[in-house]
Structures are given as structure tokens and as C-alpha cells.
Amino acid sequence: MLTQQTVLLVGGTGRTGRRVLQQLLDRGVSVRAIVRSGGKLPPDAAGNSNLTVIEASLLSLRDEELQQHLRGCDAVISCLGHVLSLKGVFGPPRDLVTRATMRLCRGVEALQPPAPVKFILMSSVSVNHTGGLDTRRGSFERALLWMLCGVLPPAKDNQRAADFLLEKIGPRDAFVQWAMVRPDSLLEGEVSEYALHEGLVNSLFAPGSTNMANVAHFMCELVMSPKAWADWQGKLPVITNAEASGPLTVSRSEP
Ligand SMILES: NC(=O)c1ccc[n+]([C@@H]2O[C@H](COP(=O)([O-])OP(=O)(O)OC[C@H]3O[C@@H](n4cnc5c(N)ncnc54)[C@H](OP(=O)(O)O)[C@@H]3O)[C@@H](O)[C@H]2O)c1
């Protein structure tokens, strides 16, 4: 019998994060959510006895405080993103996702857990897996991405967070294992069939789409299903709604 899983969730008040939170609770997972404002949590989730809300500014927590929240967790999920406003995109912290990823991973390592903790990062198809399985982008697309990373702090931030996991944590860390989930353009909508791909399938000029509910469903699978984790840990799966072409895996909609 599986023991109850415990997940530390950051970004749980966001569009995708709140869906992750709800689906984890629906599956009986115990969730610790670090949020800036508890009032932004979905009312259904807020009263759930499996939810512990920690109201704090994530990047301002001291190392010991963060480690206290990480202690005993089986997985950490980050759905952090820059608020889509002038201040959110161009103001501090420009390295929100990178800094949170680094602090959370280093916090886990400091605890030296007996079994590796899963770190599941919401990333983006704008993130390149250099040397990986991504199909080669055309030179114009690569130039555009390079420019976007220079001009738009969130694009650079997502790439740096990915580079940290790929290069600094790597595939054989004793305490942290990771997977980076790369959705295409995010849509509202229910959980539906979706496809998982080892590398990029759409260009920036002809994007695909991904229901946020499907991202949440897949993240829950990564937490709960040993097979899903074995298939995707150490990888950057691209997730698209199933009507997109060329699926490697199609998951049924069982929230
Ligand atoms: N939009 C797309 O089409 C798309 C596609 C693929 C990937 N992505 C990526 O997916 C991620 C999540 O996207 P989303 O649209 O679900 O996010 P979102 O709705 O913008 O939510 C962002 C979350 O991050 C938190 N946050 C923002 N600034 C923070 C700070 N300084 N300190 C602590 N928490 C902070 C927010 O908290 P508050 O509620 O307190 O503000 C919220 O919980 C982003 O990294 C984005 O780049 C987006």
C-alpha cells in the first residue's frame, strides 16, 4: 500500500498552480503551499485538512525556515511565474524561477533525505534543451529566442532555471531528481487527453496548446506514478493537447 505523499508547492495561487493544488488534494496528497497571500487560494482547497498554508515571501525565507518546510516532503512542485504586468515582467525579482529552483534544490540537499526528492518544474517550450532531443530550430527562430532571452527577463529566467537543473544538479544527484514540464500556449479547460513528447514539436511561429488542467494532471502523475517518474525524470517533456501531431505517449483523463 502506498503511504500518503507530501508535496511542497510554490506558485499554488497561479493559474496552473491552483489546478495542481486542487488535483493533488483530490488525490489525497498532503500539500504544503508557500504563498504570498492565502486569500488567493481557491476556496475549495483552502479548507482542506490535507493543506498546510505557509504565508511568506518565498525568496525572503531564511535557509533554515525553507528546510523546515521541505523536511519530509516526497516532491516539490514549482508553478512560479512572473506576473504579467510591466512591474511583474521587468521589475525584481527578475530571477524568481531560477532563484527559487536553486534554493529549493539546495535546501533538499542540505537535508540529505533518505530517498531522492522529486523536483517538478513548470517550464516552457521557449526553453531549449541544449544537446538534448529537441528538434533543431531554424536559424531565424534561434535568433528570435536569443533576442527574447535578452529582452524579456522571464524568458531568460526560465532558461537559467533549466540550465541549473541540467548542469548543476544533473542526472545523478543523490538527493534531488527532477523533471521539467514544458507546456505550449496555456488554455483554460478541463482535463482531456494529452500527448507527451521527448522534444519540441511545434515552432514558436505555429504554437500548439496545452490545457492548464492537463499540465496539473501530468504533474500529479509524476508525483504518484512510479512509471511516469521512471519515464520522465531527468527529462524536459513537452506536453500538448492530444490533437497535436506525433504523440509519444497519450494519457487518459483520469484526474
Ligand atoms: N502563459 C503561457 O502560455 C505559458 C506557457 C508555457 C509556460 N509558461 C510558464 O508557466 C509558468 C506558470 O504560468 P502561469 O500562467 O500558471 O503562472 P501565473 O498565473 O502568472 O502564476 C504565477 C505564480 O507565481 C507567483 N509569484 C509571482 N511572483 C512571485 C514572487 N516574487 N514571489 C513569490 N511568488 C511569486 C504568483 O503568486 P501571486 O498569486 O502571489 O502573484 C503565482 O502563484 C511560468 O513560468 C510561465 O513562464 C507559461
Across 93-113, average pLDDT: 97
pLDDT over threshold 70, residue 29 = yes
Mutating to test ligand 1, I would choose from 69, 121, 122, 187 the residue with most ligand atoms within 8 A of its C-beta, which is 122
**What is the pLDDT at residue 99?**
97
**Ligand 1 centroid from CA 14, angstroms:** 6
**Ligand 1 centroid from CA 82, angstroms:** 5
Ligand 1 atom 1 nearest Cα: 186
**What is the pLDDT at residue 147?**
74
Across 98-115, average pLDDT: 98
**Ligand 1 centroid from CA 85, angstroms:** 11
Across 161-167, average pLDDT: 96
Q: How far is CA 52 from the centre of its chain?
A: 20
C-alpha cell at 226: 512510479
Torsion of CA 10, 244, 157, 165, to 10 degrees: 70
Phi, psi dihedrals of residue 204, rounded to the nearest 5°: -60, -25
**Ligand 1 centroid from CA 112, angstroms:** 29
**What are 238's strand-pairing partners?**
182, 197
pLDDT over threshold 90, residue 196 = yes
Per-residue model confidence as pLDDT tens digits over 201-255: 887 777 789 999 999 999 999 999 999 999 999 999 999 999 744 444 545 444 3
Predicted TM-score of the model (pTM): 0.92
